[in-house]
Structure formats: C-alpha cells, structure tokens
Amino acid sequence: MYTSFIQFTPATHVRRSRLLPVVGTVMVRQGQKVNAEDILAEATVPTHHELVDVVRVFGLSGPKAAESLIQRKVGEILGEHDIIAETGGIFSRVIRTPAPGKIISIHDGQVLIQTETKNISLEARYSGTIAEIINNRGAVIETTASIIQGAWGNKKFAAGPLLCKAETTSAVLASADFEITARGSIIASATCNDEKMLDLAATLPVAGLILGTMPFSLLEKALSQPYPILLTEGFGRSGMNSAALKMLSLYNNHEVALDAGLENGSIQSRPEALVYAPVDERNIVIQSRVTAGQMVRVHTAPYLGQTGTIEKIIPGLTALPNGLRVCAASVIMDNKERKIIPIFNLDVIGFAQPTSG
C-alpha cells in the first residue's frame, strides 16, 4: 500500500543538484571536494538593452531600405559613439550607439544592443564531493547527511550549527531562546505563536528556524524574514512530532544546510534540513511502501502531527464513522493507544534509499 513519504532519515548518502539559471562556465571537476561557500559555476547575464530603430530615425520607407545603411553585424562590440548606420552622400546622416555594448540582433531595420551585464556565481551550498558535472550549468554534489523534510518553507536558504531549544513536542519559541550565543545558529523549537519572536530572530540574527508548526496568521511575517523558516508539520499549533524532535536533539551542534524550498538552483520537492553526519551503512534501508512495523506520522485531524507504528494493514476496505470505506491501517500510537487510520492520512517516517536532487 503506497502513501506519501516524509523523510526523517538517519545519515544516508545524499545527492543534490546545483544549477545556474542560464548557460555559463562550470568551475569544478568530477571527484573534487567542495565546501558550502565554494563557487561551482559562473555566468554573465544581460541586465539592460538599447533598441536603435534605423527605419524610424532616418524616416525610411521600410526595413529593406535600412539594410544597406546598417554598417554593423551581430556579435560586434561597440565603443562609445560608434557609428551604427550612415546614409552617405554630401549631407550624410549617421546614427551612433547610445551606449557601449554588444549587438545582439539586427532585424527589420532595428539594432538591439546589450549595454549592461552582471556576473552571477553559483555557490555549492552543500559540503561534499562533485559526483557529476552538468555541462555549462552546474554540478551534482554528493554528501552524507541526515534528512529532515518539512511541510512548508519560506523559500530561503542558510547554513549553520543546529541549536535545538525544544525539550518537548509542544515547546514554544521564546525570547530566552535568542541568547547571544545563538547568533548565527539554526534554532529548532516545536512551535512559534508570536510574530515578535520572528522579528527578534532576525535582530539577533539567527541563520534560520526549524519549527514544528506556527499559526497561519504568521504566514506573511514568516515570508518577509531574511532567514529560512521550515515547518515540519505545517500551519497550526500542534507542535512537532516526536521523531523529528528526537533527531534534532540528537544532532544538536551539528552543521545544517537548511533549504526552506529554495527556487533558484534547487529542484527539491519539499523544504528540508540536511544535518551533516557520518553514514552507518546499516541504516540505509529501502522503504517504498507502508508495511507492518513502519513508523508513520498522521497529517490530518484529529491526530494531526502524532506519530506511531503500523501494527498491520487491514485487509479490504474499512468503514469510517462518516460512512466512507477506505484502505486503513491499525496504528499503535506513541502513547500506546491503538487507532484505525486511513492509509492516505499517513506520512511514512523513516529510512529511504539514497535520494537525488
């Protein structure tokens, strides 16, 4: 029986792609070790163009009349005041470039000049080894890390040491968590109920936040923050599931790469935190389906955010109190209670095969 897969995975082999948004030059080689701040690739992108309409300026009858007057070719580099077109004759008229640049196209009597560019650099963001070169675009980095996937992120990225402040699955982020020693850290807590805490985190500043939940009313405030925020459960007040909290506590003070759903250069389907840790090969187990003994998390009410272990998959269809008949499982919750829960209300938590970004 298949269901969605949320990973809270002990150290495993991880591959992540890093790509330029345009064609550029790759600066690394396969097998090279890189740090998070190393540059993988560079590119030059245009930021401003000037369009010179020869037909209009000379008052010509049409584009064909301009062809013989344009004295430049595509790809030429123009200096300041260089001539683009000239009528010739005793009373010759000329058109000069409005700014130095490169001719991008000549079409229908119009000359398009690229006058400004900027250089962009692609940082590795992840420490590891270059496993694959993607021609003219970037590279694939392979590393070893524990994976904590989230339900929501504010589309920002940062790296730093993990500082877990939550002792319980309902711990609330408080001002006391932002002591001076937390500066530059990625702080983890179960929930945040006050937008002032998000602003306080920016003032310190922190490198990022990993939370279980926060109220939907804090959405706009979270999106406006300069640092990444990851929610393992999503919006609400239920706190953090015990599996995620246990892992965060275990890796306290480890280095973390926090990708809260970054769009530029990242193709992750879910926001995630990668906690750098050595691999124990015994922990790499393939689990692609729900089976007895599998740890799961409930992602709907009334057990939202609670975790447990599959006791068995119930054969056939099970009738729910609302009259629906669904595929369901018997789950032993962490509090030892047995619950019958629809399969599609469960997220698998646990080991996964090595993942690719």
Residue 108: give its domain's CATH number: 2.40.50
Average predicted confidence (pLDDT) for the chain: 86
Domain end marker among 118, 142, 172: 118
User: For residue 348, what is the domain's CATH number?
Assistant: 2.30.30.30
Dist CA 58 CA 138 (whole Å): 46
Domain end marker among 102, 118, 134: 118
Is 182:188 a contact under the CB 8 Å cutoff?
Answer: no
Number of H helices, E strands in the chain: 5, 27
Least confident of 10-14, 189-193, 313-317: 10-14
Q: What is the CA radius of gyration of the chain?
A: 28
Bigger pLDDT: 295 vs 44: 44
- Residue 214 falls inside a structural domain: no
Dist CA 73 CA 170 (whole Å): 68
- Which residues form the domain of 294? 283-356
For 185-211, what is the mean pLDDT? 96
Number of domains in the chain: 2
* pLDDT of 255 above 70: yes
> Binning pLDDT at 50, 70 and 90, where does residue 266 land?
very low
Nearest to 269 by CA among 112, 122, 105, 153: 153
Dist CA 145 CA 257 (whole Å): 10
Nearest to 353 by CA among 12, 3, 11: 12
* pLDDT of 145 above 50: yes
- Residue 269 falls inside a structural domain: no
- Residue 128 falls inside a structural domain: no
Query: According to the model, what pLDDT value does residue 151 have?
Result: 87
Dist CA 186 CA 172 (whole Å): 16
- Residue 166 falls inside a structural domain: no
Query: Is the dihedral angle over the CA atoms 280, 285, 286, 287 positive or is it negative?
Result: negative
- Residue 176 falls inside a structural domain: no
Q: What angle do CA 178, 182, 186 make, to 5 degrees?
A: 100
- Residue 270 falls inside a structural domain: no
DSSP 203: H
- Residue 317 falls inside a structural domain: yes
Q: Which residues partner with 161 through β-bridges?
A: 255
For 124-150, what is the mean pLDDT? 92
Is 306:333 a contact under the CB 8 Å cutoff?
Answer: yes
Domain end marker among 103, 118, 133: 118
Peptide linkage before 302 cis (omega within 30 of 0): yes
